[in-house]
Amino acid sequence: QVQLVQSGAEVVKPGASVKVSCKASGYTFTDYAIHWVRQAPGQRLEWMGWINAGQGDTKYSQNFRGRVTITRDTSATTAYMDLSSLRSEDTAVYYCTRGVGGRMEFWGQGTLVTVSS
């Protein structure tokens, strides 16, 4: 069965960076895209970007102004989301999802990132 297992919760200081991992199993990793979506407390879901796990090409939301980088390691069937210059408004649950043409069929369990000094 398809599974996306994310790394654990993080507490980071303002201005720092965080890297969240997403380990995929149960399917051919390189056949699908991985999207990253976040949800701040009480807010709507917000799409951050995606990576074609096969080719490695990426696309990002302009809302993050170059602060987000998505990578993957095909040998480890793992995708990564790196968010830099963190501020309090970045406190959120971050999800990875397996995408098919933009629809998000399977989701990881989520990773809480708390930005606090």
Partner 1 sequence: EIVLTQSPGTLSLSPGERATLSCRASQSVSSSHLAWYQQKPGQAPRLLIYGASSRASGIPDRFSGSGSGTDFTLTFSRLEPEDFAVYYCQYYGSSPYAFGQGTKLEIK
Q: Is 109 in the site for partner 1 (CB under 8 A)?
A: yes
- Total count of residues recorded for the chain: 117
Choose, by CB under 8 A, the member of 12, 23, 30, 46 that binds partner 1: 46
Long-range contacts of 41-50 (CB under 8 A, 24+ apart): 41/91, 41/92, 43/92, 46/92, 48/81, 48/83, 48/94, 49/81, 50/99
Q: Is 59 in the site for partner 1 (CB under 8 A)?
A: yes
CA within 13 Å, CB half, 103: 2
Choose, by CB under 8 A, the member of 30, 61, 71, 84 that binds partner 1: 61
Q: Is 47 in the site for partner 1 (CB under 8 A)?
A: yes
Report the site for partner 1 in 15-44 (rule: CB under 8 A): 35, 44
Positions that interact with partner 1 (CB under 8 A)? 35, 44-47, 59, 61-63, 95, 101-105, 107-110
